[in-house]
Homo-oligomer: A and B are copies of this chain.
Amino acid sequence: MAEPARLNARELRSWTGYHRMSARFAACLNQSLLKDAGLSYADYEILVALRECPEGRMSAGELRCELRWEKSRLSHQLRRMQERGLVRRETNPADARSAVVRLLDKGRCAIEKATPHHTARLRADLFDLLTEEQIDTLADISETVLAHLERREAEALPDGPHGIERIEREATGR
């Protein structure tokens, strides 16, 4: 690429602004949620997903897929939430490897208390400040970048260590 090594003024303004805003906004949301309902944003995401399910039950795999989380992150998070009595892990009779997560009363109570505050905060600190065009542009940008990252990672995987292992195995005739 023939592009200059440093960001230009437009890019720099956009990046520093975005970077500071996203960090601050996430911290702000987390704090509000903690104050209003004693939940972290990670807790909130789990509970929202579970609330949308019939009987508040969802397989851990679905949950991971829905939230795009790493499996170890989900495992740690569920352990902590289970210790606090928000959810419970149950064994899946259909497949002994997988697990089912159940929303407990305490968790349902917490999420119902938290949601209105959270929505109000999203409005007050984000959407009420923006025009409809800006809101749409933010969505467009996010989807563009997200699609790009997912495409890149999907391409990287087959050529990554996995692919190399396969090739080596074939080359040595194992």
Interface residues of A (CB under 8 A from B): 1, 3, 5-7, 10-11, 13-15, 17-18, 20-26, 28, 68, 115-116, 119-120, 122-123, 125-127, 129-130, 132-146, 148-149, 152
User: Beyond the given A28-B149, A130-B141, could you list 15 further A-B residue pairs with CB under 8 A, ordered by the A residue number?
Assistant: A1-B123, A7-B127, A14-B127, A14-B138, A15-B122, A15-B126, A18-B142, A20-B68, A20-B142, A22-B142, A24-B149, A25-B149, A125-B148, A125-B149, A134-B141
Contacts of A119 in B (CB 8 A): 5-7
Task: Looking at the assembled complex, report how far the CB atom of A7 sits from the nearest CB atom of chain B, in whole angstroms.
Answer: 6
- Distance A17 CA – B140 CA, assembled complex (angstroms): 8
What 9 A-B pairs are tightest by C-beta distance, nearest first? A17-B142, A21-B142, A14-B139, A137-B137, A21-B146, A14-B135, A22-B22, A18-B142, A17-B139
In this complex, which of A1, A115, A135 has the most chain B Cβ atoms within 10 angstroms of its Cβ?
A: A135
- Distance A13 CA – B135 CA, assembled complex (angstroms): 9
Contacts of A132 in B (CB 8 A): 10
- Distance A11 CA – B127 CA, assembled complex (angstroms): 7
Instruction: Using known A-B contacts A3-B123, A148-B129, determine if residue A24 contacts B138 with beta carbons closer than 8 Å.
Output: no
